[in-house]
Structure 1
Amino acid sequence: MKRSLILFAHGARAASWAAPFERLRDGLRAQLPGTPVTLAFLELMEPRLPEAVAAQVADGAADITVVPVFLGQGGHLLRDLPLLAEQIRAAHPGVRLHVAGPIGEDPAVQAAMADYCVRSLS
Protein backbone atom coordinates (compact mmCIF):
# COMPACT_ATOMS: atom_id res chain seq x y z
CA MET A 1 0.00 0.00 0.00
CA LYS A 2 1.58 3.26 -1.13
CA ARG A 3 1.89 5.79 1.70
CA SER A 4 2.18 9.54 1.44
CA LEU A 5 2.43 12.57 3.68
CA ILE A 6 0.75 15.97 3.45
CA LEU A 7 1.85 18.92 5.54
CA PHE A 8 -1.25 21.04 6.14
CA ALA A 9 -0.68 24.76 6.79
CA HIS A 10 -2.98 27.75 7.07
CA GLY A 11 -1.82 29.80 4.08
CA ALA A 12 -1.18 33.54 3.72
CA ARG A 13 -1.30 36.28 1.12
CA ALA A 14 2.50 36.70 1.04
CA ALA A 15 4.22 33.92 -0.89
CA SER A 16 7.31 34.28 1.35
CA TRP A 17 5.21 33.07 4.33
CA ALA A 18 5.35 29.52 2.95
CA ALA A 19 9.17 29.35 2.84
CA PRO A 20 9.68 27.57 6.22
CA PHE A 21 7.00 25.03 5.31
CA GLU A 22 8.61 24.44 1.92
CA ARG A 23 11.96 23.83 3.65
CA LEU A 24 10.26 21.36 5.99
CA ARG A 25 8.68 19.59 3.01
CA ASP A 26 11.99 19.45 1.16
CA GLY A 27 13.79 18.09 4.22
CA LEU A 28 11.16 15.40 4.65
CA ARG A 29 11.43 14.44 0.99
CA ALA A 30 15.16 13.90 1.54
CA GLN A 31 14.49 11.83 4.68
CA LEU A 32 11.68 9.79 3.11
CA PRO A 33 12.81 8.82 -0.38
CA GLY A 34 10.01 7.04 -2.19
CA THR A 35 7.31 8.60 0.00
CA PRO A 36 5.49 11.51 -1.63
CA VAL A 37 5.51 14.57 0.64
CA THR A 38 3.43 17.58 -0.32
CA LEU A 39 2.35 20.84 1.23
CA ALA A 40 -1.32 21.87 1.26
CA PHE A 41 -3.14 24.90 2.60
CA LEU A 42 -6.43 25.73 4.25
CA GLU A 43 -6.84 29.04 2.45
CA LEU A 44 -5.14 31.81 0.49
CA MET A 45 -2.57 29.49 -1.15
CA GLU A 46 -2.62 26.46 -3.43
CA PRO A 47 -2.99 23.57 -3.42
CA ARG A 48 -5.81 23.22 -0.96
CA LEU A 49 -6.04 19.99 1.02
CA PRO A 50 -8.68 18.24 -1.15
CA GLU A 51 -6.64 18.91 -4.29
CA ALA A 52 -3.42 17.72 -2.67
CA VAL A 53 -5.10 14.49 -1.58
CA ALA A 54 -6.63 13.98 -5.03
CA ALA A 55 -3.18 14.41 -6.62
CA GLN A 56 -1.64 11.84 -4.28
CA VAL A 57 -4.50 9.40 -4.88
CA ALA A 58 -4.05 9.86 -8.64
CA ASP A 59 -0.37 9.01 -8.06
CA GLY A 60 -1.37 5.75 -6.38
CA ALA A 61 -1.39 6.67 -2.69
CA ALA A 62 -3.80 4.60 -0.61
CA ASP A 63 -2.60 5.55 2.89
CA ILE A 64 -2.29 9.31 3.43
CA THR A 65 -1.19 11.02 6.64
CA VAL A 66 -2.00 14.70 7.10
CA VAL A 67 0.16 16.58 9.59
CA PRO A 68 -1.22 19.99 10.59
CA VAL A 69 1.77 22.32 10.84
CA PHE A 70 -0.07 24.53 13.32
CA LEU A 71 1.25 25.36 16.78
CA GLY A 72 -2.06 24.74 18.52
CA GLN A 73 -5.53 23.42 17.99
CA GLY A 74 -7.79 26.41 17.32
CA GLY A 75 -10.96 26.74 15.30
CA HIS A 76 -9.42 25.70 12.01
CA LEU A 77 -8.28 22.37 13.41
CA LEU A 78 -11.35 21.84 15.58
CA ARG A 79 -13.94 22.69 12.91
CA ASP A 80 -12.50 23.13 9.42
CA LEU A 81 -10.08 20.20 9.26
CA PRO A 82 -12.56 17.52 10.48
CA LEU A 83 -15.06 18.71 7.88
CA LEU A 84 -12.41 18.61 5.15
CA ALA A 85 -11.32 15.13 6.25
CA GLU A 86 -14.92 13.90 6.14
CA GLN A 87 -15.37 15.29 2.62
CA ILE A 88 -12.07 13.75 1.49
CA ARG A 89 -12.99 10.34 2.92
CA ALA A 90 -16.34 10.50 1.11
CA ALA A 91 -14.61 11.44 -2.16
CA HIS A 92 -11.95 8.70 -1.80
CA PRO A 93 -13.59 5.78 0.06
CA GLY A 94 -10.77 3.34 -0.68
CA VAL A 95 -8.10 5.58 0.83
CA ARG A 96 -6.98 5.52 4.46
CA LEU A 97 -6.72 9.12 5.67
CA HIS A 98 -5.02 9.69 9.01
CA VAL A 99 -4.97 13.19 10.52
CA ALA A 100 -2.24 13.71 13.10
CA GLY A 101 -2.43 16.21 15.93
CA PRO A 102 -1.03 19.71 15.47
CA ILE A 103 2.73 19.66 15.23
CA GLY A 104 3.11 22.32 17.92
CA GLU A 105 1.41 20.18 20.55
CA ASP A 106 3.87 17.28 20.20
CA PRO A 107 6.10 17.05 23.30
CA ALA A 108 9.27 16.62 21.22
CA VAL A 109 8.42 19.67 19.12
CA GLN A 110 7.71 21.68 22.27
CA ALA A 111 11.06 20.57 23.70
CA ALA A 112 12.82 21.70 20.51
CA MET A 113 11.05 25.08 20.71
CA ALA A 114 12.06 25.43 24.37
CA ASP A 115 15.68 24.64 23.45
CA TYR A 116 15.54 27.33 20.79
CA CYS A 117 14.19 29.85 23.31
CA VAL A 118 16.98 29.02 25.76
CA ARG A 119 19.61 29.36 23.00
CA SER A 120 18.08 32.74 22.09
CA LEU A 121 19.08 34.07 25.51
CA SER A 122 22.78 33.76 24.70
Structure 2
Amino acid sequence: MTGDHAIDPAVPPTGAGCADCDAVGGWWFHLRRCAQCGHIGCCDSSPGQHATAHFEATGHPVVRSYEPGEDWFWDYATNELYESGPDLAPPVSHPADQPSPGPAGRVPSDWAKALRR
Protein backbone atom coordinates (compact mmCIF):
# COMPACT_ATOMS: atom_id res chain seq x y z
CA MET A 1 0.00 0.00 0.00
CA THR A 2 0.98 3.60 -0.42
CA GLY A 3 3.35 4.69 2.41
CA ASP A 4 2.72 4.14 6.10
CA HIS A 5 1.42 7.70 6.46
CA ALA A 6 -1.68 6.66 4.49
CA ILE A 7 -2.97 4.52 7.37
CA ASP A 8 -3.57 5.57 10.97
CA PRO A 9 -4.91 2.52 12.83
CA ALA A 10 -5.79 4.58 15.92
CA VAL A 11 -8.28 6.91 14.21
CA PRO A 12 -11.93 5.85 14.66
CA PRO A 13 -14.48 6.09 11.85
CA THR A 14 -16.44 9.33 11.56
CA GLY A 15 -19.85 7.65 11.85
CA ALA A 16 -22.14 4.86 10.76
CA GLY A 17 -22.83 6.17 7.26
CA CYS A 18 -21.70 8.55 4.55
CA ALA A 19 -21.75 12.02 6.10
CA ASP A 20 -21.77 13.64 2.66
CA CYS A 21 -24.92 11.71 1.65
CA ASP A 22 -26.48 12.47 5.04
CA ALA A 23 -25.87 16.19 4.53
CA VAL A 24 -27.98 16.24 1.36
CA GLY A 25 -30.54 13.54 2.21
CA GLY A 26 -28.93 11.07 -0.18
CA TRP A 27 -28.37 7.34 0.01
CA TRP A 28 -25.53 4.90 -0.62
CA PHE A 29 -24.94 1.41 -1.90
CA HIS A 30 -21.80 0.42 0.06
CA LEU A 31 -19.51 2.30 2.41
CA ARG A 32 -15.74 2.88 2.51
CA ARG A 33 -13.60 4.11 5.39
CA CYS A 34 -10.56 6.34 4.89
CA ALA A 35 -7.68 4.52 6.57
CA GLN A 36 -5.93 7.81 7.34
CA CYS A 37 -8.63 10.02 8.89
CA GLY A 38 -11.64 7.72 9.38
CA HIS A 39 -13.95 9.57 6.94
CA ILE A 40 -16.85 7.37 5.87
CA GLY A 41 -17.84 7.81 2.24
CA CYS A 42 -19.99 5.93 -0.23
CA CYS A 43 -18.56 3.64 -2.93
CA ASP A 44 -18.21 4.39 -6.63
CA SER A 45 -21.40 2.48 -7.42
CA SER A 46 -23.32 4.93 -5.18
CA PRO A 47 -24.82 8.07 -6.75
CA GLY A 48 -22.55 10.39 -4.71
CA GLN A 49 -19.21 8.54 -5.03
CA HIS A 50 -18.06 10.35 -1.88
CA ALA A 51 -15.17 8.03 -0.95
CA THR A 52 -13.43 8.83 -4.24
CA ALA A 53 -14.29 12.52 -3.82
CA HIS A 54 -12.65 12.42 -0.38
CA PHE A 55 -9.47 10.97 -1.90
CA GLU A 56 -9.47 13.63 -4.62
CA ALA A 57 -10.00 16.45 -2.09
CA THR A 58 -7.54 15.26 0.57
CA GLY A 59 -5.05 12.99 -1.15
CA HIS A 60 -5.78 10.24 1.42
CA PRO A 61 -5.26 7.22 -0.85
CA VAL A 62 -6.27 4.15 1.16
CA VAL A 63 -9.79 3.06 2.08
CA ARG A 64 -11.08 -0.04 3.78
CA SER A 65 -14.47 -1.57 3.19
CA TYR A 66 -16.92 -0.48 5.88
CA GLU A 67 -19.26 -3.38 5.19
CA PRO A 68 -19.84 -6.12 7.80
CA GLY A 69 -17.58 -9.13 7.22
CA GLU A 70 -15.27 -7.36 4.75
CA ASP A 71 -11.70 -6.35 5.60
CA TRP A 72 -10.14 -5.52 2.22
CA PHE A 73 -8.33 -2.27 1.42
CA TRP A 74 -8.17 -0.26 -1.81
CA ASP A 75 -5.35 2.10 -2.71
CA TYR A 76 -6.57 4.87 -5.04
CA ALA A 77 -3.00 6.03 -5.74
CA THR A 78 -1.94 2.66 -7.17
CA ASN A 79 -5.36 1.20 -8.11
CA GLU A 80 -4.54 -1.91 -6.09
CA LEU A 81 -6.73 -4.14 -3.96
CA TYR A 82 -5.35 -5.68 -0.77
CA GLU A 83 -7.17 -8.63 0.74
CA SER A 84 -6.18 -7.52 4.24
CA GLY A 85 -4.19 -4.93 6.12
CA PRO A 86 -3.69 -3.57 9.60
CA ASP A 87 -6.45 -3.64 12.17
CA LEU A 88 -8.23 -0.29 12.44
CA ALA A 89 -9.91 1.26 15.48
CA PRO A 90 -13.43 -0.04 16.04
CA PRO A 91 -16.05 -0.18 14.82
CA VAL A 92 -14.81 -1.90 11.67
CA SER A 93 -18.14 -1.68 9.82
CA HIS A 94 -21.46 0.07 9.84
CA PRO A 95 -24.00 -1.48 12.22
CA ALA A 96 -25.11 -4.93 11.07
CA ASP A 97 -28.78 -3.87 11.24
CA GLN A 98 -28.18 -0.93 8.87
CA PRO A 99 -29.39 -2.01 5.42
CA SER A 100 -27.35 -1.95 2.27
CA PRO A 101 -28.21 0.07 0.33
CA GLY A 102 -28.97 2.55 3.05
CA PRO A 103 -29.89 4.32 5.11
CA ALA A 104 -33.34 2.93 5.77
CA GLY A 105 -36.08 5.24 4.61
CA ARG A 106 -34.01 7.15 2.01
CA VAL A 107 -33.36 4.48 -0.61
CA PRO A 108 -35.64 4.85 -3.65
CA SER A 109 -37.60 1.81 -4.77
CA ASP A 110 -35.79 1.88 -8.13
CA TRP A 111 -32.36 2.21 -6.49
CA ALA A 112 -30.70 -0.39 -8.76
CA LYS A 113 -31.29 1.87 -11.78
CA ALA A 114 -29.30 4.65 -10.07
CA LEU A 115 -26.19 2.53 -9.46
CA ARG A 116 -23.10 3.66 -11.31
CA ARG A 117 -21.23 0.96 -13.14
Provide TM-score, normalisation by structure 1: 0.28
Compare CA radii of gyration and give the structure with the larger one. 1
More helix by share: 1
